[in-house]
Amino acid sequence: MTRGDAHRTIDAVWKLESARIIGGLTRMVHDVGLAEELAQDALVSALEQWPRSGVPDNPGAWLMAIAKRRAVDHIRRAQRLEHKQEQLAREQEHAPEPSGHPEQDDVLRLMFISCHPVLPTGSRVALTLRLIGGLTAAEIARAFLDTETATARLIADAKRRLAEARVPFELPEGDRLAERVSSVLEVVYLIFNEGYSATSGDDLLRPGLTLEALRLGRLLAALAPDEPEVHGLVALMEIQESRSAARTGPHGEPVQLHEQNRGRWDQLLIRRGFTAMLRARDLGGPPGPYVLQAAIAITHAQARTAEDTDWGQIAALYGALVRLLPTPVVRLNRAVATGMADGPGAGLAQLDALNADPALRDYHLLPAARGDLLARLGRSAEARLEFDRAASLTRNAAERAFLLRRADAVADTLADAAATASGPTLAEAAERFLAQDGLDAATTRAYGQTLRRLRLALGDRLPLARLSADDVTRVFTTAWGGTAPATWNRHRSAVRSFGGWAGLDGLTSGLARRTDRRPRPEPIGPAALDALWSRTDLPVREQTFWRLLHESGAPVKAVLALNAEDLDLDDRRARSGAGWITWRSGTARLLPQLLAGRTRGPLFLTDRRPGPARTPAASDLDPETGRSRLSYERAEYLFKQATGSCTLRQLRSRNRT
Amino acid sequence: MRYLMMTKASETQSAPDEKLMAEMGRFVEELTAAGVLLATGGLDPAGIRLVSSGDEITVTDGPFAEAKEAVAGFALVEVRSREEAIELGRRFRGIVGDGESVMQQVFGP
């Protein structure tokens, strides 16, 4: 056996055994990060010994034995001083295995930990692949098109969070079990989807990830066999995976379900999907979202040809799913199913309700589905615009090419007169508008942002002459409906300017100018102010800052941005942007104390130097002490602490007494 | 990737005892749970042979003379790598004792 062979063998064994080993160790040391380190130590021993001695007969048991020895050593070392703990370690070493299926339960507990709700989703995914799948950080990084360092950091961060939150290594019961299981299901399906419909990059499928997800799902089904949703998810994944060979064409382009060669569907996986579904059904209860999605997948799998598909059944299942999971994507799929069951008009009606949903603003499948329905209704010009939009929104190269081909295919069916003789398109006009002389760089950039959104939402090839105020209003509501008035007004004036240039008056007629309606905060009353000024327990920084805010009436941000070198103590004023911030005697008395001889750097500083994870800009650091500029959040917090519930803006409001 | 492991009948081997059956049961259960074992089964030695030549297809019932070369059982596994397939094969051979298996990667469907 060569060294390379041995390493590949060890890697294979590790992937098969790591979950059980790390699970067993976590039960001993109560810290999943430490458990993983100990398991890695055992792996290193194997890498040293196996190439010489050959792979042992039971490699898993070998690794476990070494790792357990390390764990016992660790417990002894860590608690050497306490005799009692020593005894505990000895007991641990000879402890009888717990009853039931201890190893299996350990793996399930490990799944719960790595999918724990205290972790952000990205960390859950990485940690699950790492601990349960036995993948290296490099392998995970490759699967998610990320760097190895970033992935390693994600995993380390996850372990730290788990340790800080003292997440127990437990098997919850009842409702809590179902809750934790559903958190695992979410992670597993996320991994599957990342592999199944790679969101970016050139490969449409990343098969490694779907296989890992399937394994995780099947494993979970064995560990938690009484949860119908687990079998539902397994059924869903088995059926989706059964189509993997058929869903891409020879050049890597996507092949839609109804055009797939069903002979290439993997009947073995389909049957496994059916079996899993039966298990879910046998457990009874109202069907959950995964069971419903699996039922939809199974309805497709049961149709021998695309024409045989029972769209009525599928639309009904989506109707049930929409009630449990009213996400925009589910509603979109339901509209597609309705379009098949009850005709494109009915589908389009359901889709139109989704057009204004901000969550779907950049979701390429919405215009793709609209394009499909419009094409079937014979509305080719609109269909082509939608396919164009879909193509400009997708991040996947193969999918983009496919959508552009569909756009071209519809274009071919268009009567050429209507298609060509209608003047410039939105894209052409927007580019000429932005290229005109007399626009400065900042304006061009700002207008460019607005017009890019219009083009994405309405399609590059929309004839300029057909751009209507209704279109503009719809785009604005979807894209910027929830933004601050200033943002809304900026985009509005960009479109007004564009409309004026293009000779399209009234483009913004459906858009009202917005005013800032945030109520001005009620100023703090004189009595409360006097009480505040007379307090002696406050640090000089707070006293000065609050006085300065109050006396100057300047914006909080501007005051925090002041530097020592900006101050003119004699004239009681400081340079702030193009203007001045001025103050009166209260601040003037305090400033020298606060400065204590400093002549440069931020006026208001934090108490401590920033931690290693934070790297503020040099201009926000005091050159002498390395402390950083006081942040708005911190300043607001301190004020709230001191006053109970007041905000800094209330202090700012001029309230001269 | 998938591998099909075919195990030949062994003439030296006695009938499987209870211990072997139990170990094998555990092994199969574990691999199924892990989602690795997709299908497995034993094969009837009395097979049917089909030979086509020109327009003619001849069907002959077994058993056949070269019985010891015949496949007695199979397992279809889904693995991450060739090495993982070999490792599973090693474990299987470790349980069944003397004899021979052949593994081949499966393409398609």
pLDDT tens column, B37-67: 988 988 888 888 899 999 899 998 877 766 6
> What is the C-alpha to C-alpha distance for residues B74 and B42, in angstroms, rounded to an integer?
6
Give the model confidence (pLDDT) of A172-184 as tens digits. 888 888 889 999 9
Q: Is pLDDT above 50 for A234?
A: yes
Give the model confidence (pLDDT) of A494-507 as tens digits. 888 888 888 887 88
Is residue A203 within 8 Å of residue A196, measured between CB atoms?
Answer: no
> What is the C-alpha to C-alpha distance for residues A288 and A422, in angstroms, rounded to an integer?
51
**What is the pLDDT averaged over residues A116-137?**
90
The residue of chain B with its CA nearest to that of A269 is: B38
The residue of chain B with its CA nearest to that of A271 is: B38
The CATH number of domain B2-106, selected from 3.40.50.970, 3.30.70.1060, 3.30.750.80, 3.40.50.720:
3.30.70.1060
Confidence band for A335, pLDDT divided at 50, 70 and 90: very high
- Closest Cα in chain A, distance from residue B84 (Å): 5
Per-residue pLDDT, A656:
42
User: Model ipTM?
Assistant: 0.79
Is residue A353 within 8 Å of residue A328, measured between CB atoms?
Answer: no
**What is the pLDDT averaged over residues A531-536?**
84
- Closest Cα in chain B, distance from residue A129 (Å): 14
Give the percent of chain A with pLDDT over 90. 27
Confidence band for A316, pLDDT divided at 50, 70 and 90: very high
Q: Is pLDDT above 50 for A655?
A: no
Confidence band for A74, pLDDT divided at 50, 70 and 90: confident
For A587-618, give one letter per residue: b (16+ CB within 10 A) or e: bbebbeebeeebeebbbbbbeeeeeeeeeeee
The residue of chain B with its CA nearest to that of A5 is: B83
Interchain CB distance below 8 Å, A214 and B80:
no
**What is the pLDDT averaged over residues A194-223?**
74
DSSP-derived pairing of the beta strands B48-53 and B37-42: unpaired
Confidence band for A539, pLDDT divided at 50, 70 and 90: confident
- Closest Cα in chain B, distance from residue A309 (Å): 22
Per-residue pLDDT, A332:
92
The single-letter code of the amino acid at A630 is L
Interchain CB distance below 8 Å, A217 and B35:
yes
- Closest Cα in chain B, distance from residue A11 (Å): 8
DSSP-derived pairing of the beta strands A579-582 and A573-576: antiparallel
Residues from B contacting A (CB-CB < 8 Å) are 32-36, 38-39, 76, 78, 80-84, 86-87, 90, 94, 108-109
**What is the pLDDT averaged over residues A310-331?**
93
E strands, A468-535, are: none
Q: Which residue has the higher pLDDT, A213 or A102?
A: A213
Q: Is pLDDT above 60 for A467?
A: yes
Q: Which residue has the higher pLDDT, B100 or A525?
A: B100
Identify the residue among A1, A3, A8, A191 best suited for mutation to test binding to B, counting B beta carbons within 10 A and taking the highest: A8
First to last CA, chain B: 12
Comparing C-alpha atoms, which of A148, A158, A146, A153 is closest to residue A198? A146
The residue of chain A with its CA nearest to that of B79 is: A211
Q: Is pLDDT above 70 for A95?
A: no
Q: Is pLDDT above 70 for A42?
A: yes
Is residue A498 within 8 Å of residue A507, measured between CB atoms?
Answer: yes
Going from N- to C-terminal start, the domains of chain A cover 426-502, 526-652
Within 8 A of B80 by CB-CB distance, chain A residues are 12, 15, 208, 211
- Closest Cα in chain A, distance from residue B88 (Å): 9
Per-residue pLDDT, A297:
95
Longest dimension (CA), chain B: 51
Q: Is pLDDT above 80 for A402?
A: yes
> What is the C-alpha to C-alpha distance for residues A405 and A400, in angstroms, rounded to an integer?
9
> What is the C-alpha to C-alpha distance for residues A615 and A10, in angstroms, rounded to an integer?
41
Q: Which residue has the higher pLDDT, A574 or A194?
A: A574
Q: How many CB atoms lie within 10 A of CB A388?
A: 27
Interchain CB distance below 8 Å, B84 and A12:
yes
Interchain CB distance below 8 Å, A12 and B87:
yes
Per-residue pLDDT, A513:
83
CB pairs under 8 A between A and B: 54
Q: Is pLDDT above 80 for A24?
A: yes
Interchain CB distance below 8 Å, A13 and B87:
yes
Confidence band for A557, pLDDT divided at 50, 70 and 90: confident
